[in-house]
Each structure stands twice: as C-alpha cells, then as structure tokens.
Amino acid sequence: MKQKTLIINADDCNLTSQVTEAILKAHENGIVTSTTFLVNLPVGTDVVRELLARKKLGIGLHLNVTLGKPVAKSSLVKELLQKDGRFKKKDQYPSKKLPPVNEITEEFKAQLQKFVQTFKRLPTHVDVHHHMHDFRPFLEALAVIAHKHDLPIRWTRLLTEPEVRNAHKGLKTTDHFYGNLDPHTFWTEEVLRHLLFTLPEGTSEIMCHPGWVDDELCAISSLAIPREREYQLFSLKELRRYIDHLGIKLTNFGCLNKAR
C-alpha cells in the first residue's frame, strides 16, 4: 500500500503578531507542519528568528496581491493597485478583466526575492493569498516562478482541467487538497477526524488558519473567530497520536522538492 503523507499548512503567517504566535504554538504543541509567510507586510527580525528556530516547520511563501502594498515598483504593477497605492481587494478584481500576467509575475518575483533576502533561502513552496491562483492569470504567473526555482505549489482546481494540466505538466503539487476560504466556517474535530480516517494514498495538504483574534486582525481580515477555533483544534496533541495510529506520515512541502 502506498504511503499516506500529510502536510498541514497554516496560512497567513505574519498577518499579525497574534496569528504568527498561534501558528508557532500549533506547530509546537499540535499537528501543524508547514506555514506560508506574507512577505509584503512589515517583517520583524524576531519573527524570522522564531520561525527559523523551528527546524521541522516548513516555511513557504504566501504570495499576496490582495492586502497591503506591493514589493515591486508601483509603476510596474498598476493594474493590481487601488488609487491609494495598495492592492485591490479580492472582490475588486473583475472576473472578466483580470490583471495582466506580466504585472502579477513582476510582483510575485519581487516577493520571492524579498523572501530569500529575509530567510536566506528559498521557500519550501509557494501559494497565493485568498487562493487567487484559481484564476488563470495568477496561476500563469505562479507557474513562472515555480518552474524557474523548481518550487512546489498549492493545488488549484484549475489543474483538474486537461488543457491547464497539460500546459503545466512540470508543476509539483500534492495529490489532494482540503480546505476552504469561507470566513464563517472552520474545521471541526469531527470533520477532521473523518478526513484523517478516510485520507487517500499519496500526498495531501490540509489548509488551516489558526490565529488569536485582536483588533488588528479584525481590521484587516474577515476571518476572525474561526481562527481561534482552528488554533484550538490543530493544537490538540491527541490528534498527533491519532494520525500516528492511522499510519499517516506528517511532513511539509520539502517532501515534494527533495531533488532540489
């Protein structure tokens, strides 16, 4: 029987200090094995040091074009920005007129470069805040940096389309992906245990959003209380024992880029 391998990725590291701290605790005490870092937001050296000290925690790049300011020059990413120079919100990107691939690519390249400057290494993988790579231009831009640096990406529904899958045969991603972005729902222990019990063979990613809620978070994210619920759940030590009992191997995206 093929090994069941599971990555449990906590999104939004560096969104706020309380979100970052909750992610670190969920890794230390629970089952979080990976996180993705928002590099276009202010970065503290203490945060970087704390993350790098967790040797088993995979640190990926959470490419972001829906919150804060760009890393690239504003003149190169005009279609991504509001009049105040900040990124457009997700719902401000019209589905019939998405930004050009070259501008998205420019920003993704700049954020990757800043990640490397900050952490002195490449990320374990790349994904996109608000799952924007479910839209073709964002996936095309993501593929540019993923191919260039041989980086795994987060699975996207677009890869179920034969045309897209054939165009991006070289992309590395997990076999399965579980998670949603509904700000009113969250993982429960019953649902999570059922998924773990029925987990398919191959490599899977579970996306979660552990965090502690404060005024800073509520001012910038619609996902608030569910973060605390997921922090409590993904910090449970007994879930690690349950995963071990099921013979599931917990890991991070490093399992997809061993050849690098």
> What pLDDT, on a 0 to 100 scale, did the predictor assign at position 1?
63
By the 8 A CB rule, do 119 and 59 touch? yes
Summarised one tens digit per residue, pLDDT across range 202-241 is: 999 999 999 999 999 999 999 899 999 999 999 999 999 9
How does 213-233 read in b/e, with b if 16+ C-beta sit within 10 Å? beeebeeebebeebbbbbbeb
> What pLDDT, on a 0 to 100 scale, did the predictor assign at position 258?
60
| pTM reported for the whole predicted model | 0.95
Nearest to 142 by CA among 71, 64, 48: 64
Query: What pairs with residue 178 in β-bridges?
Result: 206
By the 8 A CB rule, do 104 and 81 touch? no
Residue 210 tokens, joined: 């552990």
Q: Among all chains, which residue has been given the structure tokens 């990124």?
A: 87
End-to-end CA distance of the chain: 27
Q: Is a pLDDT exceeding 70 seen at residue 260? A: no
Residue 222 tokens, joined: 């619609």
Domains and CATH numbers, the chain: 4-256 (3.20.20.370)
Angle between helix axes 189-197 and 237-245 (nearest 10 degrees) is 20
> What pLDDT, on a 0 to 100 scale, did the predictor assign at position 11?
98
> What pLDDT, on a 0 to 100 scale, did the predictor assign at position 259?
39
How does 25-45 read in b/e, with b if 16+ C-beta sit within 10 Å? bbbeebbbbbbbbbbbbebee
H or E stretch covering 159: none
Query: What pairs with residue 35 in β-bridges?
Result: 10, 59
> What pLDDT, on a 0 to 100 scale, did the predictor assign at position 198?
98
What is the residue-averaged pLDDT of the chain? Answer: 94
Q: Is a pLDDT exceeding 90 seen at residue 180? A: no
Task: Give the rounded percent of residues in the chain with a pLDDT score beyond 90.
Answer: 88
* pLDDT higher at 1 or 252: 252
Range of lowest pLDDT (13-22, 47-56, 85-94, 135-144):
85-94
Q: What is the DSSP letter of 126?
A: E
By the 8 A CB rule, do 42 and 240 touch? no
